[in-house]
Amino acid sequence: MTGAKALMEALLHEGVDTIFGYPGGAITPVFDAMYDYMDKFHYVLTRHEQGATHAAQGYARVTGRPGVCIVTSGPGATNTITGIGDALMDSTPLVVITGQVGKTLLGTDAFQEIDMVSITQPITKWSYQIRDEQEIAWAVARAFYIASSGRPGPVELDFAKNAQIAEVDFKSEKCHFIRSYFPVPEIDESILQDAAALINCSKRPLALVGHGVTIGQAEEELKAFLEKADIPAAWTMLGESAMPSDYRLNKGMLGMHGNVGPNIKTNECDLLIAIGMRFDDRVTGDLDAYARQAKVIHFDIDPSEIDKNVKTDIAILGDVKKTLPQITQLLHEAKHTEWIDSFTEYEEREKNNVIQQDLHPTDGPIKMGEVVRKVSDATKEEAILVTDVGQNQMSAIRYFRFKNKRSVVTSGGAGTMGFGIPAAIGAKIGAPDRTVCLFCGDGGFQMTVQELGTILQEDQLGVKIILLNNNYLGMVRQWQELFFGQRYSSTPMANPDFCQIAQAYGIRSAHVGRREELDAAIADMLSDDKAFLLVVECEEKGMIYPMTPAGKAVTNILLGD
């Protein structure tokens, strides 16, 4: 068979059922081969290669399986860079296959030749150029193993055209081992004993729950660990749905726009237990003033994260699905009632100063927070939340609530505007039976607005898009207001009629400008199983509080007026 067909067979062997992408000259043999596999793959034609990568990310995040996208060489390939970098930052398994000129033309600056291996090496777990058709089975098997094992991430395969068209006697392969690559460290049981002793002696423990718990499918193991030792827990943005929103030990979000209680208590606890999180600067603020009083235990699968930002007293390397139960067996039953109750004061302060005004305003413009909570309530807290980036993201993360795991798809480490629409498409395709609600701002929406065409082509795929329109690049404007003397440089936006744009793509829409219209519009949106755009005119100069200014201590929290 041809190398292009061999690629199709190799993808089937890896269990791939969905491919996102965009054709072009250097990858045409692969798309020609795909024509005969339309009954085996759901192929999603996005409107831009960046959209293909973000859609593949959304699919991967809700399924736990690698997202796959196939694009052409040159500008098609370079358009995937943002999505690849985003996937690396957020540990999302991704296999990106790019077309390339034939090997005899490599290095000649041939039409649409770009050195993708060199470009992507810093932002992938592995980047490889297939120049020979005999390498196809080996390279694909290796790519999926690397992308999905250990700490997941993106892999790039650059597929030379000569290898696509050449004949090959194909035999599928499976990769389970690579010399010098150890994706899951061996568990040191003596360290588990030391960590358990530290937890058993702690009077004020605090757990920090990250994306690693979701990646490791360790939600139940986390709960058993927290329950036995009675440990309050807070979460990073990507770790949000690892615990139900109403779980008694769930104390809210960490970081710059996180909840007051967990941020204050970070600098009051005597033991900080980080579980599958990387101590990002948006969580820690000023490292010199971060949890200096506490011992630190760090659970992680990636040794490079240990001591990278925060000095660890005990590092527990391994898969949290295994390490958490092992340490739970060593723990004493504990009660930290007084310590847990001490969060209440800060919860009340935040409720009175921020949350009440965000969720239950009595007059004035519509607040982003009230829109988010109304949609969350209307979905009975069972929907998948997808966000773009900016104030819409922070409002959605703060006020959307969850009962189910794998319910948050957002761009964390990279903070990629334009992530929302394509990621929501991928999430809906990956979880077709679940409601997918996307919150985005007017800025991010317009960065990938062309992906409404993908929704159209996918038979009005039932993504619910809630556009929180404030006619500003809201988060940048907030920083300008607080730290740059209200000099609103390049943040006011002249916007189109978003409902007319939706109409052009055959997508139903509604525009809400008054609070009393909101409930009915949300009900209408959710009653339709097809795509829907709900445009809500929100407070133009609204602020997202609490806020810890960048580089300040986690206890230096602004609560607004």
Supply the residues annotated as catalytic. 49, 111-112, 161, 475
User: And the tokens for 408?
Assistant: 């948050």
User: And the tokens for 51?
Assistant: 């959209």
User: And the tokens for 561?
Assistant: 């007026």
Please give the C-alpha separations between residue 386 and each of 154, 435, 438, 531, 534, in angstroms, as whole numbers. 20, 11, 5, 14, 15
| Distance in angstroms (rounded) separating the CA atoms of residues 406 and 214 | 7
Is residue 546 within 8 Å of residue 260, measured between CB atoms? yes
| Distance in angstroms (rounded) separating the CA atoms of residues 278 and 97 | 29
Which of 201, 187, 220 shows the shortest CA–CA distance to 332?
201
At position 45, the amino acid (one-letter code) is: L
Q: Angle formed by the axes of helices 49-63 and 420-430, to 10°?
A: 40
Is residue 269 within 8 Å of residue 203, measured between CB atoms? no
Compute the C-alpha angle 315/317/322, nearest 5°.
125
Dihedral sign computed on CA atoms, order 89, 90, 95, 98: negative
| Distance in angstroms (rounded) separating the CA atoms of residues 545 and 560 | 6
Compute the C-alpha angle 237/238/239, nearest 5°.
90
Other CB atoms within 10 A of residue 268 CB: 14
DSSP 130: E
List beta partners, residue 126.
Answer: 155
Phi, psi (5° rounding) for residue 85? -65, -40
Q: Angle formed by the axes of helices 189-201 and 320-328, to 10°?
A: 60
Which of 212, 172, 198, 191 shows the shortest CA–CA distance to 7?
172
| Distance in angstroms (rounded) separating the CA atoms of residues 503 and 519 | 22
| Distance in angstroms (rounded) separating the CA atoms of residues 236 and 452 | 30
| Distance in angstroms (rounded) separating the CA atoms of residues 518 and 404 | 26
| Distance in angstroms (rounded) separating the CA atoms of residues 8 and 234 | 43
Cα 473 to chain center, whole Å?
21
| Distance in angstroms (rounded) separating the CA atoms of residues 185 and 31 | 39
Other CB atoms within 10 A of residue 380 CB: 10
| Distance in angstroms (rounded) separating the CA atoms of residues 419 and 86 | 9
